[in-house]
Amino acid sequence: MAVEKTLILVKPDAFARGLTGEILARFERKGLKIAALKQTTLTVEIAETHYGEHQGKPFFGELVEFITSGPLVAAILEGESAIKAARQVIGATNPLEAATGSIRGDFAIEVGTNLVHGSDSPEAGVREAGIFFPELS
Ligand code: ABT
Ligand code: MG
């Protein structure tokens, strides 16, 4: 076990639905600490950098359009095994396969609007934290 940092996004769909507080509360109740927090609206350039691993995939255009469509909330969460813990709280990528009790399982239906992002490795956590909070690195 190791203390890790993960980058969380409350995506524009969740922000617009007024789920920001509910979502952040679930991470806090899990035991993760909020180390940084901000509201921002992404430029296409930052969105393409953040989702760089998906460049060329059929859903990439829609993904960038969606994630830049309105304000979102970005947070760095810190704690033991924060990457895995946060992804457990978030649930599977496809909300219809996400467990009840997870954020996506409880509040989402479609994969293209699945409410929350969480880094998928410690390396991604460091990279993504640098994109959203350059002032901290
Ligand atoms: P993110 O936390 O947003 O990265 O989602 P997750 O890691 O659970 O899933 P990945 B595979 O990284 O998906 C990134 C975004 O792309 C969307 N997507 C994914 C689709 O729209 N269609 C697909 O077939 C797949 C595989 C879901 C994710 N984001 N949104 N919004
Ligand atoms: Mg991902």
21-46 pLDDT, tens digit per residue, is 999 999 999 999 999 999 999 999 99
Query: Which helix or strand (DSSP H or E) is residue 33 part of?
Result: strand 33-40
Q: What's the CA gap between 46 and 50, in Å, rounded?
A: 6
- For a ligand 1 pocket test, name from 15, 111, 120 the mutation site with the most ligand atoms within 8 angstroms of its C-beta: 111
Tokens at 105, concatenated? 């399982």
Which pLDDT score, from 0 to 100, does residue 1 have?
84
- pLDDT reading at 137 higher than 90: no
Query: Distance from the CA of 7 to the center of ligand 2, in angstroms?
Result: 11
Handedness of CA 127, 43, 103, 58 (dihedral sign): negative
List the CATH code of the domain at 3-37+74-136: 3.30.70.141
ipTM of model: 0.89
- Give residue-wise pLDDT tens across range 73-127: 999 999 999 999 999 999 999 999 999 999 999 999 999 999 999 999 999 999 9
The residues carrying an active-site annotation are: 117
Place of tokens 């293209």: 112
Which pLDDT score, from 0 to 100, does residue 127 have?
97
- Give residue-wise pLDDT tens across range 2-12: 999 999 999 99
